[in-house]
Amino acid sequence: MTQSSGGSGGPARGPLRAVLFDLDGVLIDSYEAWFHVTNGASRDFGLPPVTRERFHAIFGQGIAADVDNLYPGRTVAEVEAAYERHMRAQSGTIDVNPEGRAALATLRAGGVRVACVTNTHGRLAEALLQAAGLVGAFDAVRAAGPALREKPAPDLLLSAMAALGVRAEEALMVGDSRYDEEAAAAARVRFVKYVMRTKASLREALAAAGALAASPR
């Protein structure tokens, strides 16, 4: 699934100098892993199980929002620690986008800078990047934490653009959720929706957005 936004009335368009990628749902698919992780945390805290329907509705929102919606009375630090414990057992359930690393390398080779902007907090984000073989594949990585609010706030995107030395009109955000799209709108960055779980081509999504040359047929 791909969908772009940023036409009339949307973010201004300039020469593309940077692409900002969400991690989960775009470059990796850890949906099943996170379903088991959130339920593991619920068990730890003596709370009812998280249903599939409930999980689907909130997936991708970030740990601070999970605290409000799933674990009332717990702290972000407590939930993050529980997530780290349970994620260690889920490496086998995480799929890596087969086009991801090559797309990142092609963008960089063409002079386009790339960043990862994820609602997953620091240590967990590092572990996921390591498991996916994506450490070192970005010019900048921004993970949610005390200094950077989770999407849909624009903080992660703004911080990444500052690190890359680009303006909003020179950037493109690739994400799979409404949180990504709302963050892009708040940062005045054009947006392309791409959902890895639909088996769509990441390269084709980037080509449609003008970030990569289309694959020959």
- pLDDT values of the chain reduced to their tens digit, one per residue, 217 residues: 556 665 434 565 778 999 999 999 999 998 899 999 999 999 999 999 999 999 999 888 888 899 999 999 999 999 999 998 898 888 788 899 999 999 999 999 999 999 999 999 888 888 889 888 899 999 999 999 999 999 999 999 999 999 999 999 999 999 999 999 999 999 999 999 999 999 999 999 999 999 987 554 4
Give, as one character, the DSSP assignment of residue 24: B
Per the confidence metrics, is the pTM higher than 0.75?
A: yes
Q: What is the pLDDT of residue 133?
A: 87
What's domain 2-29+95-208's architecture?
3-Layer(aba) Sandwich (3.40)
The distance from CA 51 to its chain's CA centroid, rounded to whole angstroms, is 23
pLDDT of 7: 40
Q: Pairing mode, if any, of strands 190-194 and 2-5?
A: antiparallel
Q: How far apart are the C-alpha atoms of 150 and 2, rounded to whole Å?
A: 23
* Cα 186 to Cα 46: distance, rounded to the nearest angstrom: 37
pLDDT at position 12: 58
DSSP letter (8 states) at residue 216: P
